[in-house]
Amino acid sequence: MTKDWKTRLIHTDVKVPEGFESLASPVYRGSTVVFPNTSSTHTEWNQEELGYAYGLHGTPTTLELAARIAELEGGTRTLLAPSGLAALAMVDLAFLTAGSHVLIPENVYSPNRVLAMKLLGRFGIESSFYPPEIGGGILQHFRPNTHLLWAESPGSITMEVEDVPAICAAARERGVPVALDNTWSAGVLFRAFDHGVDVSVQAATKYIGGHSDLLLGSVTVRNAAHLARLGEVRARLGLAVSPDDCSLALRGMTTLAVRLKYVEQSALEIARWLAGQDEVQAVLHPALESCPGHDIWKRDFTGSSGLFSLVMKPEFSGAQVRLFVDSLELFKIGYSWGGVASLAVAYDVSRGTGYGDRVVRLNIGLESTVDLIADLEKGMRAMRGY
């Protein structure tokens, strides 16, 4: 068939040579999937088993990232979401219905708390919050309608380390699935499935992405039944992810090991320096012996990452603590973490701690450790002179 030039713009006969192999994963973008014939068409989300159906459910780029995260975490399968918060919501909606009850740690990532209280509550889902140090004592918090238990270890601000194996053992007695926000460990420093977790969630925005330039979440599961529930929710809500963001995450994964090693060493050196400063009441870093939950961390974790907090002494006001943060130069003020740049954020953490507005959370990046300590010292001087 002879085609007009306007048609050839869309339906070309051009062929490129085969055999090109690259170290970089290709980026496949697309919404419409072309089927070879009418009998092969379908609209199901489970493309690994049924073949590609629609870009909403994934392209080779997104499915490669999902498979690599599942391989990294030791899970059966991974589903991706457009953000860490979207991944948390996917889990909630997969396991909870009107009349359900969900258990959440008191120190949970704040958007997860807001999601439970402000959105799930509107649909008749009850939420209650348990002390993160409770371990096997979690049994007393179960209700007949408890259908999901969240864990977050360590907590992303106050860094309490949960006894996840004990919590999972208690949940198994009641037949309740356990979902863990495993972002702090990048899915590798804490082997969630080896410790009894059913669903491991990460904000891939953070250590997997590694450069503060993408938004992604991952949900990795132990068994096929949970995968089916989660896949249905993801498909019905249209939680598509960008192949371009997935490509950046695939690139970030290749340097994850060296980045984690560097930030672990740098963060520990900085944490130990901070622990020796007169202005500091406590350094909340699970790898420090002085940190609550250190023994559990030492038992269950294979290393530590670059996120931790410090608490200034009561003699310093919240305004002075904020001046400390404002005086930093290398530590930028910003949420999220896991990127190459160091960050500092001041928090008011009154709930259950007594720390009040004297908490500063630090994300240690890839800058020189010596320079970061000098920057913190400058902030201390500014705070003392307030």
Where are the domains positioned within the chain? 38-254, 256-384
CA angle 126, 127, 133 (to 5 degrees): 150
Q: Do 38-254 and 256-384 have matching folds?
A: no
Q: Which pLDDT value is given to residue 300? A: 98
CA angle 125, 127, 133 (to 5 degrees): 155
Q: Which pLDDT value is given to residue 189? A: 98
- Amino acid letter at 139? L
Give how far Cα 284 sits from Cα of 161, 176, 274, 312, 372, Å. Answer: 10, 30, 10, 11, 18
Q: How far is the C-alpha of 117 from the C-alpha of 97, rounded, in Å?
A: 15
Per-residue pLDDT of the chain (386 residues; tens, 9 = 90+): 788 988 998 899 999 999 998 998 999 999 999 999 999 999 999 999 999 999 999 999 999 999 999 999 999 999 999 999 999 999 999 999 999 999 999 999 889 999 999 999 999 999 999 999 999 999 999 999 999 999 999 998 999 999 999 999 999 999 999 999 999 999 999 999 999 999 999 999 999 999 999 999 999 999 999 999 999 999 999 999 999 999 999 999 999 999 999 999 999 999 999 999 999 999 999 999 999 999 999 999 999 999 999 999 999 999 999 999 999 999 999 999 999 999 999 999 877 678 999 999 999 999 999 999 999 999 999 999 86
Residue 234: which H helix or E strand, with range?
A: helix 224-237
Give how far Cα 373 sits from Cα of 170, 217, 358, Å. Answer: 43, 32, 19
Token pair 């997935």 in the structure block, residue: 246
Q: Which pLDDT value is given to residue 297? A: 98
Q: How many CA atoms does the CB half-sphere of 381 hold within 13 Å?
A: 7
Question: What number of other Cβ atoms are within 10 A of residue 5's Cβ?
Answer: 6
Tokens for 240, please give them. Answer: 């598509």
Question: What number of other Cβ atoms are within 10 A of residue 29's Cβ?
Answer: 11
Residue 68, judged by CB atoms within 10 A of its CB (0-12, 13-18, 19+), counts as middle
Question: What number of other Cβ atoms are within 10 A of residue 152's Cβ?
Answer: 24
Q: Residue 156's Cα: distance from chain center in Å?
A: 10
Tell me which CATH code domain 256-384 carries: 3.90.1150.10
Q: How far is the C-alpha of 85 from the C-alpha of 31, rounded, in Å?
A: 24
Tokens for 294, please give them. Answer: 């250190």
Which of these CATH numbers, 3.40.640.10, 3.40.50.150, 2.30.110.10, 3.40.50.300, describes 38-254?
A: 3.40.640.10
Q: How far is the C-alpha of 3 from the C-alpha of 12, rounded, in Å?
A: 9
- Amino acid letter at 72? L
- Amino acid letter at 80? L
Sign of torsion over alpha carbons 328, 332, 337, 341? negative
Q: How far is the C-alpha of 341 from the C-alpha of 211, rounded, in Å?
A: 8
> Are residues 361 and 347 in contact, defined by beta-carbon separation less than 8 angstroms?
yes
* SS3 state of residue 18: coil
Q: What are phi and psi of 340, to 5 degrees?
A: -80, -20
> Are residues 94 and 68 in contact, defined by beta-carbon separation less than 8 angstroms?
no
Burial annotation 113-128 (CB, 10 A radius, 16+ → b, else e): bebbeeebeeeebbbe
Task: Return all residues near 31 (Cβ < 8 A) that are at least 6 apart.
Answer: 54, 55, 56
Task: Return all residues near 238 (Cβ < 8 A) that are at least 6 apart.
Answer: 56
Q: How far is the C-alpha of 224 from the C-alpha of 49, rounded, in Å?
A: 12
